[in-house]
Copies of this chain bind each other. A is one copy, B any other.
Amino acid sequence: MRSTIRDVARASGVHISTVSRTFSAPHMVNPETRSRVLATAASLGYRPNRAARALITGRTGNVGLIVADIANPFFPPLIKAAESQARDRDYSIFVAETDEDPTVEENLVRALAKQVDGVLLCSPRMSNDLIEKLSKEVPLVLINRSMPSLPCVLMDVSLGARQAVDHLIELGHSRVAILGGPRGSWTSREIRKASVAACRQAGFEPIVLSPNQPTVDGGIAIAERVVQESASAVVAYNDLMAIGVIEGLDSLGVRVPEDVSVIGFDDSTLARISRPRLTTVSNPTLAAGRTAVDMLLQLSDDRRATGQVMLQTELIVRASTNPATGSHGTPEEGR
């Protein structure tokens, strides 16, 4: 039914190797022959069988992309960017998700290993050792996770966190809660470290609440603690949590931004449509997706680890942050 290289060869009166070369090494075949072959190939609707090609070249033309949760609005733009970049390079992308479960992560890498030329590991929660081990089985590029031995695409959330905290300090806040993300998240740790450092530098100790589920529900759940600690400002691991906190505070009678200021991370669609509009740290997810694909493709050629790429973040000030009011904002309050 589907035509093979053999059919094309017969129909155009050349040997199959010539047909093969017409596609994989065009410069080695006479222009005249080439166009004849191309013509008959087109008329027969011939397309090289990737499985057969993969079998012999050892390259599949596919890359895997593993994310924690497709429904988390942080990921779709990244997936989108990666997919389109890959397609431009004539690669396809397998997308899989882990539901934030490190065990699933490991299994997925192994399952994918055989049918891809490499795997993009996005915000992995696995241990360094395990990642190291898996990187022996299949080329790996990390996104949002730093390991010296592997190529990584990082977003400078430390910078973002510092900007966020500085913004709050400028507004007069000094009772700041830092809401961490899931256990094992590099991003979460970076945000925490940078935020804490920024707070201390300003002369006060932040309230660190971690780990949390990086979802709206996770945010709702932690709202009570935020009130208990009488924080006047919150830096949340991501927009979902930020929105959850606003939600939770609201149902406790605390208003944002009047009573408490909230900052998220990611600048997802949600941040732009939530009420109040969310002040948030914008992440270069599109660039990250593209860069990661390119690094992976290069790695799968070279097999020598390339370096790290650090992409810039940016604080977007919207309506969820206000100057500190008298009733909160001083370290002594509410103790």
Cα distance A243–B274 in the bound complex, in angstroms: 10
- Which B residues are CB-close (under 8 A) to A95? 79, 83, 93-95
List A residues 53-70 near B (Cβ within 8 Å): 54-55, 60-62, 69-70
List A residues 63-86 near B (Cβ within 8 Å): 69-71, 73, 75-77, 79-80, 83-84
Contact status of A114 and B79, CB under 8 A, knowing A95-B93, A274-B274: no
Top 10 closest pairs, chain A to chain B, by CB: A275-B275, A51-B54, A71-B76, A70-B76, A95-B95, A51-B51, A51-B55, A50-B115, A70-B80, A47-B114
The contact of A51 among B60, B76, B80, B92, by CB within 8 Å, is: B60
* Chain B CB within 8 A of A294 CB: no
- Asked if residues A94 and B92 are in contact (CB atoms below 8 Å), the reply is yes
Given A84-B97, A93-B96, 4 other A-B residues pairs in contact with their CB atoms under 8 A: A47-B114, A70-B79, A92-B96, A273-B274
Minimum C-beta distance from A108 to chain B (A): 8
Cα distance A108–B67 in the bound complex, in angstroms: 23
* Chain B CB within 8 A of A269 CB: yes
- Asked if residues B50 and A114 are in contact (CB atoms below 8 Å), the reply is yes
- Asked if residues A83 and B54 are in contact (CB atoms below 8 Å), the reply is no
Each complex incorporates copies of this chain amounting to: 2
Minimum C-beta distance from A209 to chain B (A): 21
- Which B residues are CB-close (under 8 A) to A84? 97
- Of chain B, the residue at the smallest CB distance from A56 is B51
- Which B residues are CB-close (under 8 A) to A325? none
- Of chain B, the residue at the smallest CB distance from A110 is B47
- Asked if residues A216 and B269 are in contact (CB atoms below 8 Å), the reply is yes
Cα distance A115–B71 in the bound complex, in angstroms: 26
Cα distance A75–B75 in the bound complex, in angstroms: 12
- Asked if residues A96 and B83 are in contact (CB atoms below 8 Å), the reply is yes
- Asked if residues B115 and A273 are in contact (CB atoms below 8 Å), the reply is no
* Chain B CB within 8 A of A37 CB: no
Cα distance A56–B141 in the bound complex, in angstroms: 32
Cα distance A249–B173 in the bound complex, in angstroms: 34
* Chain B CB within 8 A of A130 CB: no
Cα distance A72–B61 in the bound complex, in angstroms: 27
The contact of A83 among B76, B97, B114, B115, by CB within 8 Å, is: B97
